[in-house]
Structure 1
Amino acid sequence: MLFNSFEFVIFFSIVFFVYYKSYNNLKYQNVILLVSSYVFYGWWDWRFLSLIIISSISDYLIGYAIDKNNNKKQRKQLLILSLFVNLGILGFFKYYNFFTESFTDFISIFGFESNPSFLNIVLPVGISFYTFQTMSYTIDIYRNKMSANKNLLEFMTFVSFFPQLVAGPIERASHLLPQFGKKRKFDPYEFKEGIKQSFWGLFKKIVIADNCAFYANQIFENSDSYPGSVLVVGVVLFAFQIYGDFSGYSDIAIGISRMMGIDLMQNFKSPYLAENIQDFWRRWHISLSTWFRDYVYIPLGGSKVNSSFRRSLNIIITFVVSGFWHGANWTFIIWGALHSLFYFIQTAYSKNLNTLKILPASLVKVFNITVTFIAVTFAWIFFRAESFTHAINYISEIGSSTILVNPISYLRDMGASIQPIIIIIGLIYLSVFEISNRNASYSFQVGHYKTPVKTLIYCSLLFLLIFFRATNGSVDFIYFQF
């Protein structure tokens, strides 16, 4: 079930009405959330609900056992069991064929042959998100950062909470889980702000992302037919497509949750205004980047290790694992590795910049934002490409003399005539709101304009949203595949 579908509007309206009719009874509220979350997920494929239930019950029991056990060795064994269950499920469904193929290719180098058995496995939607969410629960109990939750209903609701179930934000149990232990009453202000947040998320998805996708998909899928200048347009449009698509989903999830009295963490904070790669990852998919910081980078030793080589290795491992989390393809691993390379270049550049100080601060800031955006956009080529060869060919064409060819005629031949205008309008809206709200907790605030101006803004956004929802229909969110 998609947030941008009419089915979801009906579904959420019913859930919302029944949910607040039961606000005097906490147990009923959680039962309604749990059942509605299973219906929401089961709308895609009921069979995979068993995986969520297995993860929920196993980590509930293991978390409780760790909390009650004072034996250090046994606590560690229980934690390993939790990781084995969660990573075992994730690894089988997401990485079995990748590892099988990679192993076959590796041994063939030495002249060995094998006949591997590849499985026709369907990747369960959102498995990477809810697996990481429930894993952090048992890890935090093991680290004595929180106590085990004794209420199975509350814990299962935490794992399966439908607004953020399939594409995040990846919540920490210490933040989200306690909220299911408190009654939620209807709050008119939070309801209004939730609607605005969801509305802005839908705009980013339907108006910006889906219209950018119209061109980006054609260009990437037929990259051999276009000159380098068109390929540059394609990757820039993909950069805004994936941002509008993914941050739009997060905005909708946050907005829906606010309407229901649940607070989710901010997941994006104007990432394309970042001044360096480290700053980018403080702003992009914040729930994932902080997860890898806390559960991969710091356990490896983080930046506290004495060896500069070890510190650099920790950074590389974290970025590469982050890339591999996104998908079972070498392109994602390279994408992650590129970000670690950019990080090292940024570090060296920052040291030199501090000694020069020859440019105005505002000009340096604009330069840094521009360079960071170019680096991130370049890496998106590997993220979007079907294979390593596809990415290399794409980059090679950009580096050729065809980069000077006028791309307008090629874009015009692709079909739709209204998309370019709407993309420009949408990006103008996006830029204005991103810049004006770059320090805000939530991304959609119209600001201190007079009422007629606010009304005009809301109406124009609503018109574009309704028009392109009717034109393009319900388009899947990109991160559903991860």
Structure 2
Amino acid sequence: MQNALIVLASYVFYGWWDWRFLFLIFFSTVVDYSVGRRLGDTAAPDARKILLFFSLFINLGLLGFFKYYNFFVESFTEAFTIFGYPFDPYTLSIVLPVGISFYTFQTLSYSIDVYQKRLEPSNNFLAFSAFVSFFPQLVAGPIERATHLLPQFLRRRTFSYPLAVDGMRQILWGFFKKVVIADNCGELANEIFNNYEAHDGSTLLLGALFFTFQIYGDFSGYSDIAIGTARLLGFDLMQNFAFPYFSRDIAEFWRRWHISLTTWFRDYVYIPLGGSRAGKWVTIRNVFIIFLVSGFWHGANWTFIVWGALNALYFLPLLLAKKNRQHQGEIAEGRVLPSFKELTQIAVTFGLTVVAWIFFRSPTVGDAIQYLGGMLNFTLLSFPSAIDIGQAAYTITLIVLMLVIEWFGRFGLHALERLGLEWHWVFRWSFYAFILMCILIFIPTHETPFIYFQF
């Protein structure tokens, strides 16, 4: 009955956007459940490979059609036009199903894990359906592994007051990051990016910074809301963000940013390709593959591919120098403030990340290059103009507030997991009330969709 309620709630939740796309979730569920059952009954290696290929073909085929059909058609058209062979292709007005990249990868993890015998195939269709469609993380993750989440649907859940309280704290912090940080940063970032030709370098720098915090507050905020909501229902979802803007190098950043996707690509793409065990050139190839595929996963645009390639260039020197694992522990552990060296490392890593986000946000690669050109000149030292300075000032103040809270809460799975628990109840509840008041006061007057819904 618990799983039936989850499936019903999840299908109503997803169907509220567009009921016609429910058949995609149901179809993926049936395909991978059936493949898993057949893999459990089949010992022949060739037959097992065919079953896995069938699952990959169906799931990636649907994802490719809905997400990348027009991209490839338009790219081929441009290529033929350049070489003097113009033609008029047929493109479709395809609506991208919300969250298709997330639930497709989640179902694929099941088929792959059953094929590799890391997981027993499920004999409970209702539990498997709940795993695929689980509404808190259905449309924007975290991308859960079947080995972690599916067994939780096979046991009875009971209400846990401590877990529910922690879930509420994480939901509160998620709303703060989404409504107070992301949405306010988004208004300014959109204004600057949409008219970047008219702004000087300092204003463009502000625009890049606002988008940097917009995408973090937006996506990590959603993850916090999803994880906290799941915890209310007795589920444990994996951590998806671990304070990535406190990273000391790019390798550490990618261990802390969108953890569910990064580890998915590591386990199901990078390691099967040989990882870093097959020689220098194979390692270089694998690094570029993993980052280019990650970029392409985000959308059918060359800007995402360039964003992925840029991050590969950032990451590669650390890997080749065998320094990609040098920052495993928490920064400034046992200290209130970071050292000067750590602060410098954070600043450099953050700066590289900001540059990469410009490509991610820009509509075309050409726009991103022009944006960087307009930013990196002598006007970078001028005072920002042509924007609402008052709005920019209080938005920066809110960003600083978020960073301070996350710095002191960085040892938890989310910022409020431990922060304030040892305070007197008056101060602790005043702190929660302050966060809630910020949400109510600074919420924008118009709706701002989550960025990752488009992926």
Question: How does the TM-score come out when normalised to structure 2?
Answer: 0.94
Match of 1:189 in 2: 162
Match of 2:408 in 1: 436
1:84 to 1:457, Cα distance in 2 relative to 1, 3 A: same
Match of 2:48 in 1: 75
What letter is aligned with 2:352? Answer: A
1:265 to 1:63, Cα distance in 2 relative to 1, 3 A: same
Q: 1:286-297 residue pairs with structure 2 within 5 A?
A: 286-297=259-270
- Cα separation, 2, equivalents of 1:173 and 1:65: 17
- Cα separation, 2, equivalents of 1:38 and 1:412: 42
2:195 matches 1:222 = yes
- Cα separation, 1, equivalents of 2:316 and 2:164: 44
2:290 matches 1:314 = no
Q: 1:136-215 residue pairs with structure 2 within 5 A?
A: 136-215=109-188
2:396 matches 1:424 = yes
- Cα separation, 2, equivalents of 1:179 and 1:473: 38
| Conservation of the 8 A alpha-carbon contact between 2:273 and 2:286 | yes
Aligned residues with identical type, % of pairs: 51
What letter is aligned with 1:396? Answer: G
Given the alignment, which residue of 343, 346, 363 partners 2:315? Answer: 343
Listed one character per residue, the Cα deviations across residues 421-450 of structure 1 (whole Å, up to 9, x for unaligned) are 2x2342233212322222322332333333
- SS of the residue corresponding to residue 339 of structure 2 reads helix
Q: 1:59-98 residue pairs with structure 2 within 5 A?
A: 59-98=32-71
Listed one character per residue, the Cα deviations across residues 221-270 of structure 1 (whole Å, up to 9, x for unaligned) are 11111111100000001110100000000000001000010110000000
| Conservation of the 8 A alpha-carbon contact between 2:188 and 2:210 | yes
Aligned-pair distance for 1:456?
Answer: 2.5
Match of 2:363 in 1: 386
Aligned-pair distance for 1:364?
Answer: 2.1
- Cα separation, 2, equivalents of 1:67 and 1:58: 14
- Cα separation, 2, equivalents of 1:419 and 1:226: 15
| Conservation of the 8 A alpha-carbon contact between 2:287 and 2:316 | no
Equivalences, count: 440
- Cα separation, 1, equivalents of 2:393 and 2:248: 28
Match of 1:326 in 2: 298
Listed one character per residue, the Cα deviations across residues 346-371 of structure 1 (whole Å, up to 9, x for unaligned) are 457887xx9xxxxxx93222111111
Aligned-pair distance for 1:108?
Answer: 2.7
| Conservation of the 8 A alpha-carbon contact between 2:292 and 2:305 | yes
- Cα separation, 2, equivalents of 1:346 and 1:145: 31
Listed one character per residue, the Cα deviations across residues 379-431 of structure 1 (whole Å, up to 9, x for unaligned) are 00000000111101101101222212210x42227xxx45632x234223321
- SS of the residue corresponding to residue 426 of structure 1 reads helix
Listed one character per residue, the Cα deviations across residues 165-199 of structure 1 (whole Å, up to 9, x for unaligned) are 00000000010001111111111111111111101
Match of 1:127 in 2: 100
2:100 matches 1:113 = no
2:16 matches 1:43 = yes
Match of 1:22 in 2: none
What letter is aligned with 2:356? Answer: A
Aligned-pair distance for 1:67?
Answer: 1.9
Match of 2:335 in 1: none
| Conservation of the 8 A alpha-carbon contact between 2:55 and 2:108 | yes
Match of 2:76 in 1: 103
Match of 1:412 in 2: 388
- Cα separation, 2, equivalents of 1:68 and 1:442: 42
Aligned-pair distance for 1:320?
Answer: 0.5
- SS of the residue corresponding to residue 43 of structure 1 reads helix
- Cα separation, 2, equivalents of 1:341 and 1:375: 11
Q: 1:353-372 residue pairs with structure 2 within 5 A?
A: 362-372=339-349
- Cα separation, 2, equivalents of 1:347 and 1:480: 32
Question: How does the TM-score come out when normalised to structure 1?
Answer: 0.88
What letter is aligned with 1:453? Answer: F
- Cα separation, 2, equivalents of 1:207 and 1:240: 11
- Cα separation, 1, equivalents of 2:246 and 2:449: 26
- SS of the residue corresponding to residue 404 of structure 2 reads helix
What letter is aligned with 2:353? Answer: V
Aligned-pair distance for 1:467?
Answer: 2.3
Match of 2:26 in 1: 53
| Conservation of the 8 A alpha-carbon contact between 2:280 and 2:320 | no
- Cα separation, 2, equivalents of 1:177 and 1:277: 32
- SS of the residue corresponding to residue 45 of structure 1 reads helix
- Cα separation, 1, equivalents of 2:453 and 2:56: 23
- Cα separation, 1, equivalents of 2:125 and 2:276: 38
- SS of the residue corresponding to residue 427 of structure 2 reads helix
Can you give the 5+ residue segments of structure 2 that lack an aligned partner in the other structure? 327-337
Aligned-pair distance for 1:153?
Answer: 0.4
Listed one character per residue, the Cα deviations across residues 73-117 of structure 1 (whole Å, up to 9, x for unaligned) are 110011010000000100000000001111122223332222210
Given the alignment, which residue of 351, 368, 374 partners 1:397? Answer: 374
Can you give the 5+ residue segments of structure 1 that lack an aligned partner in the other structure? 1-27, 355-360
- SS of the residue corresponding to residue 239 of structure 1 reads helix
2:409 matches 1:458 = no
